[in-house]
Structure 1
Amino acid sequence: MKQDTTATDAGNKARMVDIAREAGVSLATVDRVLNGRDGVNAGTASRVQAVVQRLNYAPNLAASQLSRGRVLQFDIVLPAGGNTFIRDLGEAVLAAERDFNAFGVKPRRHLIEGFDPDALAEALRRIGRGSDGVGFIALDHPAVREAVAELAAAGVPVATMVSDLPQSARIGYVGVDNRAAGRTAGDLMGRFLAGRKGEVGLIAGSLAYRGHEEREAGFRSVLRERFPNLTVPALVEGHDSVEQSATVTARLLDAHPGLIGLYNIGGGNRGVAEVLRRRPADAPHLVYIGHELTPHTRRFLIDGVMDAAINQNPRAEAAETLRLLLGHHTRPGPAEPAAPVRIEIFTRENLP
């Protein structure tokens, strides 16, 4: 007797008809289960999903979306303000529509108040009601975690970007390892200062961002382990604002004369640089390290105001977030882990 190997032979790709036959259901039932639609009892859905996994079914994403004329609306929620990296990230989200158009994906960008967890939670609920998936830069707060749980319970996948919200119902995180980024900054600071003894100031956007908190922890840990000659007298928050970052930088220089290093954990690099340019006598040999390669930080590196920029690629993060959300709709089972985002280091000598 010849064995039927239509769906299981190596090199053969399982089809919806194979799943229907193996599970003993109609094609319409398989379609409803694969696309998360109502009308299938739990036992039948479980049987179909078991066959999907056993046959390693991989749908033709473009064909399945376009054949139905279905559009997946993905909403990316970003903090408003003058942060150049966030602006570039938002533009990358909109530009990614060209690459994801074949999959029936339509991305939308939303700008909201970035440092108010209650406002962020309410925005997630409001935007999520009409969305097929939400990506956002997370504030680590119970109100935000609860909003994510509500969206997940309603079947709306949520992905975090740039700054994570672990122990939440999000399907994945897209961004650099922020603790490693902070350790990298600490290593660079210690090497650039080459045994000098003194104080290094820290400027964060907000420690409500877990990513900023992790960068601070990584930076301090490297100084404790390998550069005990360097101490951190204070950490101030500039809220990723050019104006506020300039104000807190000036206060740091006033409160700690002789400061030999500055690490800007978040945004607002223009504000920090403006103060250092305006007051060169207060910091004649100060090492300044920040994040993200933008037209502004590129100029600061070339001019010698900034010594190093630790970068993450906004285009890669936008695309990976959309891919992660798309996978929720097109792949059975748990979300596929997001591809890691590389940490890049730029100085004036290796600018692209």
Structure 2
Amino acid sequence: MKHRYKVREIAQQAGLSEATVDRVLHGRPGVREDTRAEVQQAISDLDKQRSQLRLNGRKFLFDVVMQTPPRFSAEFRTALEAELPMLSPALVRCRFHFRDTESVPAMVDTLGKLTARGTHGVILKAPDHPEVVAAVDRLVDIGVPVVTYVTDVPTSARLAYVGIDNRAAGATAAYLVDQWLGDVDKEVLITLSSSVFRGEGEREMGFRTTLRALAAERGTDTGRTVVEIAGTDGMDSTIETLVLDALVEHPNVEAVYSIGGGNTAIARSFAELGRRCRVFVGHDLDEDNRVLLRSGTLSAVLHHELRADARLACRMLMQARGALEGVTNVSSPIQVLTRFNSV
């Protein structure tokens, strides 16, 4: 049976005889299970060594293009820069293109300029829009792999999506809100930064669907009333105005699922009107949310490990460039953080 390594190489790595390794590789009897495990471990170690040799001396320049509020872009940049040294012996550098708000044409222009700037790959957080799809496809057509992050552009030729299962995150938020409200018949406010981000739409869909399902389990036909605010771009000033208006119009709102951020402004709106927020669930452990969690203002934050995401995104781009192999994409685990288990 042919193998990617010579029997002698495997035997040296495992510290076993060539005859023993040969028996394991050919599935012959008379070999203990722990010996078979030693051979498999040796092969795995050789794979890692081969990857290290392949990376030695390689240089990569990745571009990070994101439309997102500064509080999230700062957290992701810190996480990514912390991971870059861990990608050695390859040398990986990143250029950052962050915008608080950006029109689709501006996003397309940013992506288009990368073709002339020698990029080896792109990590992208962008609206799911036909023009963005076309811009991604143009990059891929000239050999530039693109990984979408947090929110997907699934009909494009992007390499992969990295991040949480957004529908599952919304379902988790619905479960927490419903459990904490219990039998109290109160309305729920949900806030989105923009309806053009697929990830936010999936979170909303998961939230609404699960709320209805939980109501059906209790034998309630209608379920909880949901009040929606969208188009805030995650900016505090916009959010505060819209939330104040919504709270005045809907005096029965006592729970919030913040999909698009701006949680300090949301909390300030409740305080300004002297209103109680029984349950407040948000996303991402940024500095604002850390403060709100510690104070008990936020009930829970749905978080995913940004460093793990950054590492996976870079490794997938490196694999697309032929520098790695065996990198598989998996959804980021959704962590439910409260003031008792947050950092």
TM class by shorter chain equals 0.7 to 0.9
- C-alpha contact (below 8 Å) 1:308/1:346 kept by paired residues: yes
- C-alpha contact (below 8 Å) 1:162/1:175 kept by paired residues: yes
Residue 209 (structure 1) aligned to one of 197, 202, 207:
197
- C-alpha contact (below 8 Å) 1:115/1:139 kept by paired residues: no
Report the Cα distance in structure 2 between the residues aligned to 1:80 and 1:351, rounded to whole angstroms. Answer: 23
TM-aligned CA deviation for residue 229 of structure 1: 3.5
CA-based RMSD of the aligned residues comes to: 2.5
- C-alpha contact (below 8 Å) 1:132/1:156 kept by paired residues: yes
Matches within 5 A, 1:256-271: 256-271=250-265
Report the Cα distance in structure 2 between the residues aligned to 1:6 and 1:301, rounded to whole angstroms. Answer: 54
- Write the deviation string for residues 203-245 of structure 1: whole angstroms up to 9, x where unpaired: 0011111000000000000111113431113333321112112
- C-alpha contact (below 8 Å) 1:85/1:314 kept by paired residues: no
User: Which position in structure 1 is the counterpart of 2:333?
Assistant: 342
User: Which position in structure 2 is the counterpart of 1:304?
Assistant: 296
- C-alpha contact (below 8 Å) 1:62/1:104 kept by paired residues: no
Residue 273 (structure 2) aligned to one of 258, 269, 279:
279
Report the Cα distance in structure 2 between the residues aligned to 1:151 and 1:120, rounded to whole angstroms. Answer: 13
TM-aligned CA deviation for residue 309 of structure 1: 0.9
Which stretch has the larger CA shift, 72-81 or 160-169? 72-81
User: Which position in structure 1 is the counterpart of 2:307?
Assistant: 315
User: Which position in structure 2 is the counterpart of 1:232?
Assistant: 226
* Pair 1:157 & 2:148 matched: no
Residue 106 (structure 2) aligned to one of 119, 134, 144:
119
Report the Cα distance in structure 2 between the residues aligned to 1:157 and 1:271, rounded to whole angstroms. Answer: 37
- C-alpha contact (below 8 Å) 1:145/1:165 kept by paired residues: yes
Report the Cα distance in structure 2 between the residues aligned to 1:244 and 1:11, rounded to whole angstroms. Answer: 67
User: Which position in structure 1 is the counterpart of 2:25?
Assistant: none
Normalising by structure 1, we get a TM-score of: 0.78
Normalising by structure 2, we get a TM-score of: 0.80
Q: What is the DSSP-based 3-state SS (H/G/I as helix, E as strand, rest coil) of the residue aligned with 1:134? A: strand
* Pair 1:176 & 2:170 matched: no
* Pair 1:145 & 2:139 matched: no
Partner AA of 2:239 in structure 1: S
Instruction: Return 5+ residue gaps in structure 2 as ranges.
Output: 11-45, 216-221
Report the Cα distance in structure 2 between the residues aligned to 1:211 and 1:58, rounded to whole angstroms. Answer: 34
Counterparts in 2 of 1:223 and 1:121: CA distance versus 1, 3 Å: same
- C-alpha contact (below 8 Å) 1:135/1:160 kept by paired residues: yes
TM-aligned CA deviation for residue 90 of structure 1: 1.6
Partner AA of 1:237 in structure 2: G
- Write the deviation string for residues 30-59 of structure 1: whole angstroms up to 9, x where unpaired: xxxxxxxxxxxxxxxxxxxxxxxxxx9888
Matches within 5 A, 1:22-171: 60-66=50-56, 69-79=57-67, 81-82=69-70, 84-112=71-99, 114-129=101-116, 130-171=118-159
Identity %: 30
Equivalent pairs counted in the alignment come to 301
- C-alpha contact (below 8 Å) 1:197/1:229 kept by paired residues: no
Report the Cα distance in structure 1 between the residues aligned to 2:69 and 2:203, rounded to whole angstroms. Answer: 22
Report the Cα distance in structure 1 between the residues aligned to 2:270 and 2:320, rounded to whole angstroms. Answer: 47
